[in-house]
Amino acid sequence: MTDTHGTPHPDDSRDTCGTHNACDDTRDTYAVIRSVLTTTFKIPDDEISPERTLEQLELDSLALAEFALILQERLEVRIDEEHATRATTLAQVTEHLDILRAQSVTTP
C-alpha cells in the first residue's frame, strides 16, 4: 500500500487520500512527470507538453516543492530548486532528472 505520496510505506496499511501516482514504468522520466502532473495536480493531459513551463501549468512555489518531493520518491534522485523553477520547462526538468539518474547509477 502507499501513503499520500504514492510511495510504499512499511507501517501503513492504507492510502489516506487515494492519490496513487499510477505509472509503473519509471524508465521514461517524462512519462513519470506527466503522470505526477495529471494524477496529483489534476492537470488535464492535453495541457502537458515538453515546452510548457511549470508556471504555465499553474504550479506555484508550494506546488513546486510538493512536485519535487514526489519526483524524488518516484525516481530516487533529488532535484535542486534551481532546476525546477516556475520558468523551467518540462523538457528541462526531464533532461536534468535524466542526468541525475544516470549519475546515481554510475556512482554507487
Using CB under 8 A as the criterion, which residues of the chain lie in contact with another protein when the complex forms?
3-5, 9-14, 16-19, 40-43, 58, 62-63, 65-66, 69, 72-73, 78
Cβ 55 to another protein shortest distance, Å = 15
Q: Which residue, 27 or 80, has its beta carbon nearer to another protein?
A: 80
User: What is the chain written as a DSSP string?
Assistant: -B-TTS-B-TT--S-SS---------SSHHHHHHHHHHHTS---GGG--TT-BTTTTT--HHHHHHHHHHHHHHHS-PPPGGGS-TT-BHHHHHHHHHHHHHHHHH--
The grid coordinates of residue 101 equal 539518474
The nearer residue to another protein, 4 or 92, going by C-beta atoms, is 4
Least distance to another protein from the beta carbon of 76, Å?
A: 12
Q: Name the residue nearer to another protein (CB basis): 27 or 84.
A: 84
User: Could you tell me the smallest distance in angstroms from the CB atom of residue 63 to another protein?
Assistant: 7
